[in-house]
Amino acid sequence: MSAETKQILTTDGIPLEVSLKKAERKNKIKAFLLVAPLLLFLLITYIFPIGDMLMRSVDDKMVTQMLPKTFKSMETWDGKELPPEEVFEAFYLDYKKLIEDKTFGKLSTQLNYTKNGFKSILKKLQRKMKKFEEGNYKEQITAVHPRWENVEYWRAIKRRAPAYTSAKYLKGMDMYVDEEGKIVSVEEDRRVHRILWLRTLEVAFFVTLLCFLMAYPIAHLLATLPMKYSNLLMICVLLPFWTSLLVRTASWMILLQQQGVVNDFFVMTGLVPDDARPEMMYNKTGTYVAMTQILLPFMVLPLYSVMKTISPSLMRAGKSLGGTPFIAFWKVYFPLTIPGIGAGCLLVFILAIGYYITPALVGGASGTLISNQIAFHMKSTLDWSFASAMGLMLLAGVLAIYWVYNKLVGVDNIKLG
Amino acid sequence: MPNNLDFVKFDKVDKSYDGKVLVVKDLNLDIAEGEFITMLGPSGSGKTTCLMMLAGFETPTNGEIYLDKNPISNIPPHKRGIGMVFQNYALFPHMTVYENLAFPLKVRKFQKDEIDKKVDKALSMVSLSGFEHRMPGQLSGGQQQRVAVARSLVFDPQLVLMDEPLGALDKNLRESMQYEIKHIHESIGVTVVYVTHDQSEALTMSNRIAVFNDGKVQQLSSPDKLYEEPVNSFVAEFIGENNTFAGQITDMSKDKCKVKLNEGSEIIANPISVKTNGDKTTVSLRPERALINTKEKMDNNFKGKIEEVIYHGDHTRVRLDLLGNKEFILKVPNSSANMDIKMGNQINVSWNSHDARALDPK
């Protein structure tokens, strides 16, 4: 009896759950097939490259693969005193192989990164090793140069044993692991990345703020104007979208340069003297102006879509209940637009934090952002692992902002459309 | 009761949105203090515009509106102190019921304990005590409606405007809310201006009804007068059911006239808006005023053919072909005496000439 009451059967005697699953299976398969192309696309173009970037940014297999025997024999060495004879022997064999392969130069470069002074003693070792006799390698190697007797250098070698490293991430923060294995900052005058990170955050924040201040009234107008005017205004807002990003940035260059249209106008109206035209480009001002203009639609659209749903009778109700127009706006209208503000700000901020073309073209030295630095390492220094590391740090930053936003406002409070 | 007969006064008010068409034409309307007045009319008749002008969301193109003898055209809405219930309630969705009700009190800088007291009172008036901390979205349509009513009354305004407040409710709820609003009005004596296009709502609730059409008040009178004595064809047609005959006056006397119908026969009618012989007219007769097979003596007696019979429980609606009008409706009370109401039968129909009102031609 109890089993019967638990399991409800259809009229044909099949358990209801089974029957329901069967009936819904077809829909599920159909739904999956519909999203499958996108899923595949995302997997190939997004998930996989991100994974690859992550691998690249921490990859440090080069030294590990060059000195396999040495690292294996070093496993038991505690690093307090000079390593035992077998380590010296292993190192001799590894280094000999590298010399035969003619790749020993790379090792000296890599080890020199870890500790200065490796380059010369490795070179000397390479020259002297030709005359080495079999056995008692410890004595022979330490005889080449007194530094080989210094335990510091052997510790430095051991530090390169792991196949993975966080060095690139530390470099992105202007930090490194010093000889004692401690994480320290580089000298103050060499801290380029921190400045870039801070500048990126600052630019993204102010661009978001400027976009918000400009987009809010426009979006309100769009949502309340009669159709025929609001359509026209909407076209004006979207017009930048239909123009190439490069063209728009280039037109800003024409407008903002020292002999440009805006400056000419200032001089013509007597606002500034001809010999003191303000620099509005190749600095932060240019970045602010151009980025704000380019990102404005991303703020207007979510705001508009939220404002469109707010019934005008709510503001009227606020007024009829005795609220001044300001109170009605601040207490009734504004709180209802918060989902749109959240969506717009998050969108603009995240886009701004990774913006590349505009700061590269109009930013000059003081207006470039972290993404320009990433591009620089991708294209010029070819340090892809460092570029990957910074790219991932940027991604982590964005995720962190998203997380903070979720804690403060709640992501389900976002309304994009 | 009313000590102030023109508490609200529309004085020669015109309103046009586009400079070409007048949506309100020369409106003159006095509303007494404590009155429940309904603006009734089809959509686009200008009734909501009138309400919006009174609330301050629209300005009259011409003329002036007086509230308690003061012209208010230049007073912004938030300073008029008029309560308003909106069509879709317009409750603030991000505030609780309590906050919604406290809003008008807070902007008036009431003390916290006073606000609590007033909110409590207003909520108990609409029997929603205990709902303070719900959000509007968690309430049913009827409850939201009550909150909206409570909010419009919580700051003790002298005048409350209601713009089709029951439009979104289902029929049963609408009817019970009608009584509730009427009782609230009676118990606190506030002046209510109510806008609706639902005539039964207007008839049940109001002291007086202003029937709007085409930007003008067609008739302003009490519900019973409006129903029994419509002054023109529009009102007769708009309020309740109505049988009409088109014809021409042939014999005019003091309180009776003969109307020759287009089909040829002559009926006797009550001259309302006709003056002389030869005037064209539309005669209007309420369905319940025409009787079948009656023994009473009436001065109009005709034979009609039953075209359709619709059973309504307490009464039966019968559609007749009578004097060339194929849409002549009769309401026959449900009683055992009603024998041969069957399709195709010929029956005698009679009515008093007093009930057949000869109005303006349509």
**Which residues on neighbouring strands pair with residue A164, listed in sequence order?**
A59
Query: Is B278 in CB contact (< 8 Å) with chain A?
Result: no
Q: Tokens 């999203």, residue? A: A35
Residues of chain A with C-beta less than 8 angstroms from the C-beta of B118: none
Which of A58, A83, A99 is the last residue in one of the domains? A58
Q: Are residues B329 and B210 in the same domain?
A: no
Q: How far apart are the C-alpha atoms of A19 and A14, rounded to whole Å?
A: 6
Is B178 in the same domain as B272? Answer: no
Q: Does B17 touch chain A (CB under 8 A)?
A: no
Residues of A in contact with B151 (CB under 8 A): 321
* Contact (CB<8Å) A322/B93: no
A319 and B86 within 8 Å at the Cβ level: the answer is no
Sheet of B62-67: strand order equals: B22-31, B8-16, B62-67, B70-71
B170/B91 same-domain check: yes
B181 and B48 share a domain?
Answer: yes
Which residue of A313, A316, A323 is in closest CB contact with B107?
Answer: A323
Long-range contacts of A381-389 (CB under 8 A, 24+ apart): A384/A56, A385/A56, A385/A57, A385/A58, A385/A59, A385/A168, A386/A57, A386/A168, A386/A171, A386/A172, A388/A53, A388/A54, A388/A56, A388/A57, A388/A168, A389/A57, A389/A58, A389/A168, A389/A169, A389/A171, A389/A172
Give the residue from chain B lying closest to A312, CA to CA.
Answer: B90
A327 interaction partners in chain B (CB closer than 8 Å):
107
- In degrees and rounded to multiples of 5, residue B322 shows phi and psi of -130, 125
Residues A230 and A93 grouped into a single domain: no
Locate tokens 């994480």: which residue?
A: A183
Residues of A in Cβ contact (< 8 Å) with B75: none
Residue A322 is nearest to which of B92, B94, B104, comparing CB atoms?
B104
Tell which of A11, A31, A58 closes a domain.
A58
The H or E element that residue B283 is part of is: strand B280-285
In angstroms, the separation between the Cα of residue A313 and the nearest Cα of chain B is 6
Residues A40 and A67 both lie in one domain = no
Between positions 90 and 109 of B, the ones with CB within 8 A of A are 90-94, 103-104, 107-108
CB contacts of A340 in chain B (<8 Å) are none
Helix (H) or strand (E) holding B117: helix B112-125
Same-domain status, A209 and A291: yes
Chain B: nearest CA to A206, how far in angstroms?
29
Number of A–B residue contacts, CB under 8 Å: 67
Beta-carbon separation of B83 and A320 below 8 A: yes
Q: Check whether B2 has a pLDDT greater than 60.
A: no
- What's the whole-number mean pLDDT along residues B42-47? 84
Residue B337 or A84, more confident:
A84
Asked whether the CA dihedral A51, A52, A57, A58 is positive or negative, the reply is: positive
User: Same domain for A129 and A228?
Assistant: no
Query: How many separate domains does chain B show?
Result: 2
**Tokens 């389900």 -> residue:** A412
Contacts of A56 (CB under 8 A, 6+ apart): A384, A385, A388
Mean pLDDT of B199-214: 88
All residues of chain B having their beta carbon less than 8 Å from the beta carbon of residue A317 are 84, 86, 90-92
Please report the residues numbered 49 through 68 in chain B whose beta carbons come closer than 8 angstroms to any beta carbon of chain A.
55-57
Query: Using the beta-carbon criterion (under 8 Å), do B92 and A316 form an inter-chain contact?
Result: no
Asked if B92 and A327 come within 8 Å (Cβ–Cβ), the reply is no
Distance from CA of A316 to the nearest CA of B (A): 8
Distance from CA of B90 to the nearest CA of A (A): 5
pLDDT at B88 > cutoff 80: yes
User: B323 in a domain, yes or no?
Assistant: yes
Q: Tell me what pLDDT residue A206 has.
A: 93
A53 and A67 inside one domain: no
Please answer whether residues B215 and B39 qualify as being in contact, where contact means their C-beta atoms are separated by less than 8 angstroms: no
Clarify whether residues B316 and B257 are in a common domain: yes
Do A325 and B93 count as a contact with CB atoms less than 8 A apart?
no
Domain presence at residue A394: yes
Say whether B103 and A314 touch across the interface (CB within 8 A).
no
| pLDDT number for residue A1 | 45
Question: Domains in chain A: how many in total?
Answer: 3
Shared domain check, A51 and A72: no
The answer as to whether B2 is a domain residue is: no
Q: Are residues A366 and A408 in the same domain?
A: yes
Residue B158 pLDDT > 80? yes
Q: B92 vs A325: CB contact, 8 Å cut-off? A: no
Q: Which of B48, B49, B54, B57 is most worth mutating to test chain A (most A CB atoms within 10 A of its CB)?
A: B57
A258 and A344 fall within a common domain: yes
* Same-domain pairing of B253 and B297: yes
Chain B hits for A332, Cβ within 8 Å: 92
Of the pLDDT bands very low, low, confident and very high (cuts 50, 70, 90), residue B11 is confident
Residues 6+ apart with CB under 8 A from B160: B82, B83, B84, B85, B152, B153, B190, B191, B192, B193
Q: Which residue of B has its CA nearest to A315?
A: B90
pLDDT in the model for residue A417: 55
Nearest to A369 by CA among A182, A195, A176: A195
In a domain, A283, yes or no: yes
Rounded mean pLDDT, B168-181 = 84
Q: Which residues of B touch A311 (CB under 8 A)?
A: 88, 90
B161: chain A residues, CB-CB within 8 Å: 320
Does the pLDDT of residue B329 top 60, yes or no?
A: yes
Residue A160: per-residue pLDDT: 81
Residue A244: burial class (beta carbons within 10 Å; 0-12, 13-18, 19+): exposed
Low-confidence ranges of chain A (pLDDT < 50): 1-4
Put simply, whether B9 touches A (Cβ < 8 Å) is no
Q: Does B167 touch chain A (CB under 8 A)?
A: no
| B202 lies in the same domain as B281 | no
- Tell me, yes or no, whether A43 and A74 share the same domain: no
Residue with the two structure tokens 């035209």: A277
The CATH number given to whatever domain includes residue B139 is: 3.40.50.300
Instruction: Supply the pLDDT for residue A155.
Output: 84
- The closest CB to that of B78, out of A311, A319, A335, belongs to A319
Tell if the CB–CB gap between B55 and A316 is shorter than 8 Å. yes
Distance from CA of B43 to the nearest CA of A (A): 18
| Domain co-membership, B177 together with B247 | no
- Identify the residue among A316, A320, A334, A409 best suited for mutation to test binding to B, counting B beta carbons within 10 A and taking the highest: A320
Is B118 an interface residue toward A (CB < 8 Å)? no
User: Are residues A329 and A261 part of one domain?
Assistant: yes
Residues B224 and B317 occupy one common structural domain: no
Integer Cα distance of A295 and A314 in angstroms = 30
Taking the C-alpha atoms of residue B218 and residue A39, their distance in angstroms, rounded to an integer, is: 66
Say how many CA atoms lie within 13 Å of B4 toward its Cβ. Answer: 15
Q: Check whether B295 has a pLDDT greater than 80.
A: no
Residue A28: domain span = 2-58
**How confident is the model at residue A415, as a pLDDT?**
64
Interface of A with B (CB under 8 A): 311, 313-314, 316-325, 327-328, 331-332, 335-336
| pLDDT score for A413 | 66
* Residue B80 belongs to a domain: yes
Sequence letter at residue B8? V
Tell me, yes or no, whether A360 and A240 share the same domain: yes
Q: CB-CB: which of A318, A320, A325 is closest to B55?
A: A320
Provide the shortest C-alpha distance from residue A233 to chain B (in Å).
22
Q: Do A318 and B57 touch (CB under 8 A)?
A: no
Cβ pair B46, B66 in contact under 8 A: no
pLDDT attached to residue B68:
85
Is the interface score ipTM higher than 0.95?
A: no
pLDDT > 70 in chain B, percent: 98
Query: A28 — alpha (psi -120 to 50), left (phi > 0) or beta?
Result: alpha
The pLDDT of residue A330 is 92
A43-50 contacts: CB < 8 A, separation 24 or more? A50/A392, A50/A395
Contact A320 B155 (CB under 8 A): no
Q: Is the pLDDT of residue B307 over 80?
A: yes
The residue in chain B having the minimum alpha-carbon distance to the alpha carbon of residue A333 is: B92
CA–CA separation, A361 vs A249, rounded Å?
7
How close, in Å, is residue B192 to chain A by CA atoms?
Answer: 15
Give the C-alpha separation, A398 to A354, whole Å.
9
Shortest distance, CA A267 to any CA of chain B (angstroms):
45
Range of the domain at B190: 8-234
Chain A hits for B99, CB-CB cut-off 8 Å, are none
One domain, residues B203 and B321: no
Of B218, B234, B250, which closes a domain?
B234
Domain limit, last residue, from A144, A163, A182: A163
Q: Are residues B123 and B217 in the same domain?
A: yes
Assess whether A245 and A285 both reside in one domain: yes
Min CA distance, A229 vs chain B (Å)? 16
pTM: 0.77
Give the closest of B77, B94, B151 to A335, CB-based: B94
pLDDT of residue B1: 47
B300 and B317 belong to one structural domain: yes
